[in-house]
Structure formats: C-alpha cells, structure tokens
C-alpha cells in the first residue's frame, strides 16, 4: 500500500471509529475470539456472510481480538481491549476500534469460562449487572493444515500429532512414521498462535489428554504450555496470521479454525486417526455429552461443552468422531440497563436457539461451523430466553434496577 493511500485510509478509519463510538449506546457492543469473527460480522468486513451478531443497528461489528482479550473486555467493561488492524498490515500498530470508552455488552470466547472467573464476576459485578451467562454458540473443530512439499495427503495419529507439536526431540519429518523417506534436511516447522486463543485451548486440551508428560496443562497460551524457544517454532498472531505463516514456510504445520481452510480437503488438512473434521465426525464427538439440568444450570461453567469439574473433559479425547472438537461460546450478563440492548440480545437467543429456527443456518454453514444439537439448543432456549425461567435475559424479578450500564 502506498504512503498516500495508507494515510488516507487511516483518516477514514479514524472518522469511522468515532462514528461507531457515538453509535455504540444504540447497539450491542462486543468482540473476542477470532475463530467466529466472520460468523458474527467482524469489524474488518461486517457484512461477511450473514453476520449473525451484526444485523443493521442491533449489534455493532464484532471486533476479533482473541478469547483472552475478549474476556478481559467483558469482565473489566474495557472497550479499550478492542483493537484492530485496520489496514491488514503487520508493520503498522493496531488502533482502538472505539475512540472513547463504551460499555461492553458481551464477549465471544472459545476458551471456557473458569470457576475463578465466575467467582470474581460474582464478587465484583453480579450485584450490579446480574448473574453471568455463558452459552455455546456453534460447534467447531480445530483443523491441522500442512504445507509439506510433495505431500497430497497426511494422516496422523493423535500420538504423532502430539509429538510433532510438543516433543523437542522430534525435529525432522523423517522421524515421523510415514515420512521416513524424506531427507534429514526437511525440518519440521510448527506454526503456533502467539495470542491468547480459545483455538489453542481446544487444541492443547486434546494433546494434553493424549500425552500429559509432553503437554502438562490445558491453556489458551501455546507458549505458556510448550517450550517454543527452538527454531522449530514460528509464532503468528491470530487465525489469519498462522495461515499466512503456514503458506510462507515449506514443511510447516499448524492448527486453525475450519473457516480459514478447506477443512475437508485431504490435500490441505491432515486427517487425525483417519478422520477429517466433517460435520458427521464433529457431531459424533459429542455423543453422551449433555447440557446441565436442575441447579447445575445456575453455574455458568456447566454450560461450557467439554467442561468437567474433575478436569478430565469427556470431549478432550472422544471415543467417536474427529478428536479435536469444541464449541465457541458467548458470554453475557443477565441484566442490561438499556432495555433495547436486552431486547436485541433476547432476539438473538430466540433466532439462534429456538426449536426449528433456521435463521442462522446459512451463516453457520458458510463459516464452516456446525449447528448445536437439538438438546443443547433447547436447553439454552429454555433457560435463558423463556420468560418464566429465573435465568432468562432481562428477567424482571432478577433485573429490577440492575444491569450493565448504558
């Protein structure tokens, strides 16, 4: 981009951002995980697909900054966390999406809410804003695309996958079963996310279940879990960043959300244990994993698909289907002082979770995501939309005089 065009674009963005800040009070504000940013209507291209959270003036464009930043924005009501690369140039700094502070109404996160986060919210925010709500939005897989010269298909076991990404002694492709014919010069290049990422959390959750000696914890930080100090590792920011780094580095491999790649193409994405992340294979992984009932519904952590109080998640290494699976989630407060915001959020719950609703199906499919099973959709709808439920968004008995600020 020329200096003139870049300066002109910066000026236009500044005007647009100030306009968005002024309009924020009339629309629902949020952002976070980059995995679903296209589905929700991202800031860089708010009309992409159907933008299920960006419908006219109802929701402001979703600002993809990663799950960690999205959570911080929500828990601290800090719209300053929403920064964006307005010209898609890694050499220039990100800029604030909102020029002045606005209320953060929700966050998107692929990283599950923790009990400590719930406890902190209950201590600091629940009295003013009402209880926290975490709900799964859509199912997703984490794909394993590769750029290995001369290979048109790759099939890895979960054990091999863990070794490639986490074992410091595995440095060359010919150390991996099935790649023995490659010369010693073909070094493995692992591209990883440098930002806090729910995609990373889903990925590491599986690797940890396979080999906890190599992957000692489940975290949304790859470098906080695996030693990336060797030349084997190449860091990149965000989903788009890892895809670009993969393309620029022969003999590399990475992990990314399915919307960024041709997820069912074996020439682009590795099969894991013989399976590609197709809709059937992803849905099969949820066999036996059911939504919370009775009093368990009151704790937001129990709405995280894959959460287990024991720490051993049933979805970490499923007995059926594609093994690297999770959900991308949305985090709300139950109460909003702006009644219009509350109504807009309730409309989203009705359209997205009501039995038989197909309003968002086309956008879900276009984004390479998978609709929640009926039992999960019904559970979310009955708990958080049905007005007779004490958990419903805007419930008058709970929200009288309280809510996230205007």
Q: How many residues are given for the chain?
A: 406
Contact (Cβ atoms closer than 8 angstroms) between residue 252 and residue 147: yes
Q: What is the pLDDT of residue 87?
A: 64
What tokens were used for 148? Answer: 């290995």
Q: What is the rounded average pLDDT of the residues 120-132?
A: 98
The model's pTM is 0.80
Query: In Å, how far are 32, 87, 106, 109, 197 from 71, measured between CA atoms?
Result: 7, 25, 9, 7, 11
How far apart are the C-alpha atoms of 288 and 150, rounded to whole Å? Answer: 40
Most confident of 10-14, 49-53, 309-313, 322-326: 322-326
Contact 235, 192 (CB under 8 A): yes
Q: What percent of the chain clears pLDDT 70, i.e. is strictly above it?
A: 90
Residue with tokens 């300053």: 80
Rounded average pLDDT over 107-118: 94
- Do residues 191 and 236 make contact, with C-beta atoms less than 8 angstroms apart? yes
Average pLDDT over residues 116-134: 98
Cβ count within 10 A of residue 149? 9
Q: 3-class secondary structure for 317-383?
A: CCCCCCCCEEEEEEEEECCECCHHHHHHHHHHHHHHHCCCCCCCHHHHHHCCCECCCHHHHHHHHHH
Amino acid 117: pLDDT: 98
Predicted confidence (pLDDT) at residue 198 exceeds the cutoff of 50: yes
pLDDT over 80 at 278, yes or no: yes
Q: What is the pLDDT of residue 379?
A: 98
pLDDT of amino acid 1: 34
Sign of CA dihedral 378, 380, 385, 388: positive
The end-to-end CA distance of the chain, in Å, is 39
Helix ranges (DSSP H) in 92-156: 115-124, 126-129
Span 222-249, mean pLDDT?
96
Average pLDDT of the chain, as a whole number:
89
Asked if 32 and 73 count as a contact pair (C-beta separation under 8 A), the reply is yes
Cα-based torsion angle of the residue sequence 103, 109, 114, 119 in order, rounded to the nearest 10 degrees: 10
Contact 5, 86 (CB under 8 A): no
Residue matched to tokens 């930080």: 221
Mean pLDDT check: name the lowest of 18-22, 164-168, 292-296, 392-396: 18-22
Which tens digits make up the pLDDT trace of 238-264?
Answer: 889 999 999 999 999 999 989 899 999
Residues 6+ away with beta carbon under 8 Å from 356: none
Residue 43, Cβ density class (10 Å: 0-12 exposed, 13-18 middle, ≥19 buried): buried
CA of 79: how far to CAs of 65, 75, 87, 94, 98, in Å? 11, 11, 20, 14, 7
Contact 199, 35 (CB under 8 A): yes
Residue keyed to tokens 């059926």: 320
Q: Which of 50-54, 203-207, 315-319 has the lowest mean pLDDT?
A: 50-54
Q: Using the predicted structure, report yes or no on whether residue 49 has a pLDDT greater than 80.
A: no
pLDDT tops 90 at residue 77: yes
Q: Looking at residue 14, what is its pLDDT?
A: 37
Q: What is the pLDDT of residue 25?
A: 46
- 11-20, 44-53, 281-290: range with lowest mean pLDDT: 11-20
Among the listed ranges 131-145, 278-292, 337-351, 375-389, which one has the minimum average pLDDT value?
Answer: 278-292
How would residue 86 be classed by pLDDT, with cut points 50, 70 and 90?
low
Q: With contact defined as beta carbons under 8 Å apart, do 221 and 91 qualify?
A: no
Q: Is residue 13 scored above 80 in pLDDT?
A: no
Helix/strand/coil for 199: helix
Residue 45 is predicted with a pLDDT of 66
Position 368 scores a pLDDT of: 87
Tens digits of residue pLDDT in 318-336: 999 999 999 999 999 999 9
């Amino acid at each position: 981009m020329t200096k003139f065009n870049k300066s002109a674009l910066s000026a236009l963005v500044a005007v647009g951002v100030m306009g968005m800040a002024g309009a924020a009070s009339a629309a629902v504000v949020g952002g976070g995980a980059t995995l679903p940013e296209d589905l929700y209507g991202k800031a860089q291209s708010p009309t992409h697909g159907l933008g299920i959270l960006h419908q006219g003036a109802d929701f402001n464009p979703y600002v993809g900054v990663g799950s960690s930043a999205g959570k911080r924005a929500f828990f601290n009501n800090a719209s300053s966390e929403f920064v964006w690369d307005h010209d898609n140039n890694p050499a220039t700094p990100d800029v604030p999406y909102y020029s002045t502070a606005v209320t953060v109404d929700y966050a998107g996160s692929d990283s599950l809410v923790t009990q400590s986060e719930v406890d902190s919210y209950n201590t600091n925010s629940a009295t003013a804003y009402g209880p926290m709500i975490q709900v799964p939005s859509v199912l997703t897989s984490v794909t394993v695309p590769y750029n290995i010269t001369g290979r048109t298909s790759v099939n890895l076991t979960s054990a091999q996958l863990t070794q490639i990404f986490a074992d410091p002694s595995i440095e060359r492709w010919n150390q991996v079963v099935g790649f023995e014919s490659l010369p010693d010069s073909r070094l493995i290049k692992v591209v990883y996310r440098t930002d806090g990422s729910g995609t990373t959390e889903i990925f590491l959750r599986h690797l940890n279940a396979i080999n906890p000696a190599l992957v000692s914890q489940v975290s949304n930080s790859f470098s906080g879990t695996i030693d990336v100090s060797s030349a084997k590792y190449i860091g990149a920011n965000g989903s788009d960043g890892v895809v670009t780094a993969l393309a620029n580095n022969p003999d590399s491999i990475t992990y990314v959300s399915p919307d960024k790649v041709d997820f069912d193409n074996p020439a682009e994405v590795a099969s894991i244990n013989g399976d590609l992340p197709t809709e059937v294979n992803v849905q099969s992984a949820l066999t036996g994993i059911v939504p919370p009932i009775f009093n368990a519904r009151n704790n937001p952590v129990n709405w995280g698909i894959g959460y287990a109080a024991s720490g051993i998640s049933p979805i970490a290494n499923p007995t059926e289907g594609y093994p690297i699976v999770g959900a991308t989630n949305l985090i709300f407060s139950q109460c909003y002082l702006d009644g219009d915001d509350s109504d807009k959020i309730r409309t989203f719950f009705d359209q997205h979770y009501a039995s038989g609703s197909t309003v968002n199906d086309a956008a879900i499919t276009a984004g390479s995501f998978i609709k929640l099973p009926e039992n999960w959709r019904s559970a979310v709808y009955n708990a958080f939309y049905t007005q007779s439920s004490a958990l419903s968004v805007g419930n008058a008995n709970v929200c009288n005089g309280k809510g996230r600020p205007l």
